[in-house]
Amino acid sequence: MNKKSPLNYILLSALCMCGIFSKAQAQEFGGNPPSIKWNQVNTPQTRVIFPQGMDSAGRRVASIIARMNGVIQPTLGSRQKQVNVVLQNQTTFSNAYVGLAPFRSEFYLTPDQNSFEVGSLRWTDQLAIHEYRHVQQFNNFDVGVSRVLHIIFGESGQALANELSVPNWFFEGDAVFNETLVSQQGRGRLPYFFNGYRALWAADKNYSYQKLRNGSFLDYTPDHYPLGYMLVSYGRQQYGSTFWKGVTHNAAAYTYGLNPFQNAFKHAAKTDFMSFEQQAQHYYKQQFNDKPLTGYKKNQHFIANIEYPAFTEDGAMIYMKSTYNHLPVFVWKKGNVERVIKVRDMSLDSYFAYNNGKIVYAAYQPDARWGYRDYSEICVVDVKTGKETRLTHRTKYFSPDFSADGKSIVTVQQTADGKYAIHLLNAENGQLVAVVPNPQNLYFTYPKFYNNDQLVSAVRQPGGQMSIALVDIKSGKLEELTTRTEAPIGFTSVKGDTILFSATSGNRDKLYAITSKSRLYELSNDSLQAGIGNYQPALSKDKLAWVSFTAYGYQMHKVDKASVKWMPAGDTTSLSNFGIKVLQADSATNLLAKVNTQPLPVTKYNKAHGLFNFHSLIPSFNDPEYTISLEGENILNTFQSSLDFTYNRDEGYKQFGFSGIYGALFPYLQGGVDYTIDRKGYNSRTGGNVYWNETELFAGATVPLTFTNGTQITSLSFGSNIVYNSTSFQQAYRSQFADRSYTYLSNSFSVSHRIQKAKQNIYPRFAQSLLVQYKVAVSNISANQFLASGSLYLPGLSVNHNLVISGAFQQNGKENVISFSNGFPYSRGYTAENLYQLKKIGANYHFPIAYPDGGIGNTVYFQRIRGNLFFDYTRANDFYTNGRPFQANFRSTGAEIYFDTKWFNQTAITFGLRYSHLLDNDLFGTSNNRDRIELIVPLTLF
């Protein structure tokens, strides 16, 4: 028996004090309008909550989970707790998550157009078989030290412990394994899923495990999903289907002390984890046996993603280009001349189409108020001028393309009730011209005009099979040109009567062509054979272009059409034998095919259910305030509540409070009560500090709004609270000051405006922020306080540099008989004091120093080191009783160094050091030393 080390608890306690965990969930508070009514399907495994009218989707998800749960439990554990699953139908994102704090899952119900990404299963099926595996993981990882932290800190405590003990690659790799096991698809079978690692292997990029786990600002690294699948599947193959059950249980329990996962692995496998990781990669590398990549420098970093090449009428190329230090742009290129047409608006993918001097694509547009409601709108760009016209508004359109004459646009539409359709739009004004009938509710991807009467599209059947089909525009009748297959098909393009597309065959994604409506060819030449997947084909009179993936991004290829072999392929029956074969059959194999949607009872879901759902005890540091809060949040994320204790370092006060905010209406409604002990303020009459206690009750409303013009985002928030305050002076001051009560308004206005930010950019190259607060007494006394602060972000001398100019102004009323809390951003290095009038201006110059891409002992990994040079100038004014004004300057200059790191190979933390040199006396401090060094630590725990 191995004795548990006390270092487990010491380590976790230290991490709790340092605050290294942040929520990964993507939920939006108050994200749905109140008009949405909710229903539910309730089973022992899950409560599926969904908008009215989506009963079939709710029943389908519940039926899959109920059928799958018991069969796949043995490989992870039998612990079970019912989970709430919310189906979100207002957003255009293709995503889902399961998270703690609170324990719930959300499915975003818009499928992706790219079938190579996650396959072509019915989207609710794909989400159910993947996400419920995460539910089982959280249920079974609540053991040992993880359980102890759960008991102390609630669900956020378990989330922290699980984050540090079980790597995120296991969470996702195990879920991908499950989707691959229980269906005939799953990402574990898709060559596209492995493209990142295949590209690294072909380029002989032997990155360390730490670099692969943590990523880089310089080099392309795949995310943790494929690594996780390779390790999980190889581990099951080598050690049996229940191998990971024991490893993860001991890791989550911290049975073997520090480095819990790798120690648990070594104990179970009797071998070193790093050797196992190399063996797993080697095994999968042999599955592909790709040719070595040539033509690049040995130490070449990421270059760019070049995507969706299109030929212009004069033989030039147009494509989408994105790099790590610039925003995505449309590019025109002829010969060696490259010209940027326009920065692309915010979009969910890189897809666009071209015809006759125009580009068409779908741009992302958030709703101004509701975070779960967003849109995908059609934009047209003039290639010569770069002028963009947005043709549709508040639509959900995807993958648009022009007709041959440029007068019409074909696009895929999805409605909130889960219906799919092909729409034809007027290319001049975006008006709807026709809707192609779709009685079977098939999902179309990348539709193109084939002629005036027919479209061609890759078509997904509800069961996940795909084909290329001609679609009659008037009747919707399909003529399938290929036999149905589970192999992903997509990226269709048309040139004359030739249809090009990508499809999976065996362990490769290849280019195919159909001519004269029936003859299928596989396209081949040396470049095509060498590519890591071949996608997005484009054909001109004498050229063929496409993209393949490399370790340096998607790269475009262009060859003479005559050099390409068109090899007859019969039909797509050859595509049915697709994917990577590593799974061993068991009782869960292809279980999805055996699931019948059950007629489960549907009932109304009460929006007030579980309104006070306290789930976590959360410490947070936001200097000068240090807080511990008992946090609550309901499942629909419309009400958040908090019981908290706060210590303020500036004033030394202690505060106990309760607050709640309701976000289901257009304004947020908030209210609460605070009781504060040992508040203090400087009093000129006594020449020192005066201490008192306070009770405050508050209620108010806030309106949060978000606007975008495509490339820029503006966030706006304004609101007001009415606050009742009762002040009781402490015993030593009661003879000099009378207790009082008063009511005041606390008004606020904040706005931020920013352009998009590239991966390497520290801050947006252009942004502004402004906060204005005004507090004014409305009964019994005269008092007010005005605060305005803001920052201007400007480009620096290099693309990843920023000059940030900040300013602030705060003024209290001359006749104030109370002291409002001090929110002024004082000059760095000084002890702050709440005086009558404070003015500040500051300058910061942020710049990268190095990209180490290296770590220490699988504990901390340094991605980037960056610096900041600063100067702060604060001017303070106050009054004594004799009328003589107090005036002082508080100037400081110095430097900050920040470390952008990953801890335990998955948790991002930025921390730093600040050196401040005070140019003036620290009048309110206790030290005469003008050189100060401070540690800059993360602000929020959990």
DSSP string over 526-554: HHHHHSEEEEEEEE-SSEEEEEEEEBTEE
CA separation for the pair 723, 679 (Å, rounded): 17
C-alpha angle 283/289/294, rounded to 5°? 130
Sequential DSSP letters for 495-535? ETTEEEEEEEEBTEEEEEEEETTTEEEEEE-HHHHHSEEEE
Q: Which pLDDT tens digit goes with each residue over 302-359? A: 999 999 999 999 999 999 999 999 999 999 999 999 999 999 999 999 999 999 999 9
Residue 582's pLDDT band, with cuts at 50, 70 and 90, is low
pLDDT at residue 24 tops 60: no
Residue 930 C-beta-side C-alpha neighbours within 13 Å: 9
455 and 462 Cβ atoms separated by less than 8 Å: no
CA–CA distance, 457 with 444 (Å, rounded to integer): 6
Please indicate whether residue 938 or residue 790 has the higher confidence score (pLDDT): 790
Q: What is the pLDDT of residue 27?
A: 67
pLDDT digits (tens, 9 = 90+) for 52-87: 999 999 999 999 999 999 999 999 999 999 999 999
Beta bridge partners of 365: 375
In this structure, are residues 889 and 874 in contact, taking their beta carbons and an 8 Å threshold?
yes
Tens digit of pLDDT for each residue in 412-447? Answer: 999 999 999 999 999 999 999 999 999 999 999 999
Which residues sit opposite 745 in a β-bridge?
722, 776
Q: Work out the mean pLDDT of the chain and round it to a whole number.
A: 92
Closest CA to 46 of 140, 114, 150, 128: 128
Give the tokens for residue 127.
């989400």
Q: Supply 585's token pair.
A: 């059959």
pLDDT of 128 above 50: yes
Local confidence band at 681 (pLDDT 50, 70, 90 cut-offs): confident
* pLDDT, position 881: 47
| % of the chain residues with pLDDT over 70 | 94
3 state DSSP class of 704: strand
The secondary structure of 167-229, three-state, reads CHHHHHHHHHHHHHHHCCCCHHHCHHHHHHHHHHHHCCCCCCHHHHHHCCCCCCCCCHHHHHH
- Report the pLDDT value the prediction gives residue 17, as an integer from 0 to 100: 36
Coil vs helix vs strand at 901: strand
For the full predicted model, state whether its pTM sits above 0.75. yes
CA 455 to the chain's CA centroid: 35
Can the peptide bond before residue 102 be classed as cis, meaning omega within 30 degrees of 0?
Answer: yes
266: pLDDT strictly greater than 60: yes
Q: How far is 700 from 697, CA to CA, in rounded Å?
A: 11
- Per DSSP, the three-state class of 615 is strand
Confidence of residue 5 (pLDDT cuts 50, 70, 90): very low
Q: Which two tokens stand for residue 405?
A: 């004459």
pLDDT beyond 90 at 760:
yes
The DSSP line for 282-294 is HHHHHHH-PPPP-
The distance from CA 608 to its chain's CA centroid, rounded to whole angstroms, is 28
3-class SS of residue 887: strand
The SS3 of residue 387 is: coil
Rg of the chain, C-alpha, whole Å: 30
How many of the other CB atoms lie within 10 Å of CB of 919? 16
Q: Which two tokens stand for residue 9?
A: 């608890």
Give the single-character DSSP code of 730.
-
For the segment 774-778, the average pLDDT, to the nearest whole number, is: 94
* Distance between CA atoms of residues 790 and 734, nearest Å: 40
pLDDT of residue 21: 34
SS3 content of the chain, % helix, strand, coil (to 5): 20, 45, 35
Q: Which residue type, as a one-letter code, is found at position 525?
A: N
Orientation of helix 168-182 relative to helix 243-253, angle to 10°: 150
Residue-range domains of the chain with CATH: 7-14+37-294 (1.10.390)
pLDDT tens per residue, range 495-515? 999 999 999 998 899 999 999
Q: Give the pair of three-digit tokens for residue 407.
A: 């007068």
What angle is formed at CA 744 by the lines to CA 743 and CA 748, rounded to 5 degrees? 155
Q: Is the C-alpha dihedral spanning 735, 741, 747, 748 positive or negative?
A: positive
Distance (Å, whole) CA 807 – CA 839: 8
| pLDDT tops 90 at residue 819 | no
Give the span between the Cα atoms of 421 and 39, in whole angstroms.
Answer: 25
C-alpha span between 551 and 10 (Å, rounded): 41
pLDDT tens by residue, 866-892: 999 999 999 999 876 456 788 999 999
- Cα-to-chain-centroid distance, residue 830: 37
| 803 C-beta neighbours (distance < 10 Å), count | 16
Distant-in-sequence, close-in-space partners of 340: CB < 8 Å, separation ≥ 6: 329, 330, 331
Look at phi and psi of residue 123 and say left if phi exceeds 0, alpha if psi is from -120 to 50, else beta.
alpha
